[in-house]
Amino acid sequence: MELETVAILTLSLFLIYNPFASLPIFISVSKGREPNVIKSYANKAIIVAGVLLAVFVVVGPFLMDLFGVTMNGFRVAGGLILLLMSVETVFGMKLWKGGESDAAWVIVATPILTGPGVITTAVLFSDQYGMLPVLLAGVISLAVTWLILRNSSAVMRIAGDQFINIMSKIVGLLIAAMAVEYILSGSVGWLEAHEISVIVSNIL
């Protein structure tokens, strides 16, 4: 397991977790709470997010085989989800509607942190790099996210709303670029697997 690979995976997962975009939401759902309650929310949210990540890294490939989903098809579908996620981040759109009865920390854990984007990326990365590097990268990225959430008020006060907003949009653009790569690689791989590209080239 190479450190460079773990570093790349950690950065990629951290970008998709996007704690900068989660900060305003986390502060809003924990507003008026005692400091120890806010820290408890952060602890629970990160634990649930980590468990979800680990479950889908381990079980994801089995579920794909069970439902007859190819990795190329999953790349295209995952790319589309990431693309929608980036649109939501960059343009400030609300594509997901959560139930108001959900516990605050549950909302932060999923789908804000561990949503379809993270799950998709984790499954794709585990297929490409193996489970251990992805799990290690997930632990590191969630640890940094945990520090940010536990100190959310201080981070917002120091960085300011405008800086957080700009950083979120930059991260959204990077996620969009990742999404396009997934869609293109999945499409090309699917065409090659079905020998459609060969047929098209022979026709032309």
Among residues 57, 116, 109, 114, which one has the least CA distance to residue 84?
A: 116
Predicted pLDDT of residue 101: 40
Predicted pLDDT of residue 141: 94
- CA-CA-CA-CA torsion sign (175, 89, 170, 167): negative
Mean pLDDT by 10 residues, the chain (204 residues): 89 86 73 80 88 89 85 84 81 61 60 75 88 94 92 81 81 84 87 68 54
Q: Which two tokens stand for residue 156?
A: 């917002």
For 7-28, write each residue's pLDDT tens digit: 999 999 998 888 877 777 677 6
For 24-51, write each residue's pLDDT tens digit: 767 766 767 788 888 888 898 899 889 9
Asked if the 3-203 domain carries CATH number 1.20.58, the reply is no
Q: Give the integer Cα–Cα distance in Å for 42 and 26.
A: 9
**For a pLDDT cut of 70, what percent of the chain falls above it?**
84
Q: Give the integer Cα–Cα distance in Å for 65 and 62.
A: 5
Domain boundaries, the chain: 3-203
Give a three-class secondary structure readout of the chain.
CCHHHHHHHHHHHHHHHCHHHHHHHHHHHCCCCCHHHHHHHHHHHHHHHHHHHHHHHHHHHHHHHHCCCCHHHHHHHHHHHHHHHHHHHHHCCCCCCCCCCCCHHHHHHHHHHCCHHHHHHHHHHHHHHCHHHHHHHHHHHHHHHHHHHHCHHHHHHHHCHHHHHHHHHHHHHHHHHHHHHHHHHHHHHHHHHCCHHHHHHHHC
Chain-centre distance of CA 170, in angstroms?
Answer: 15
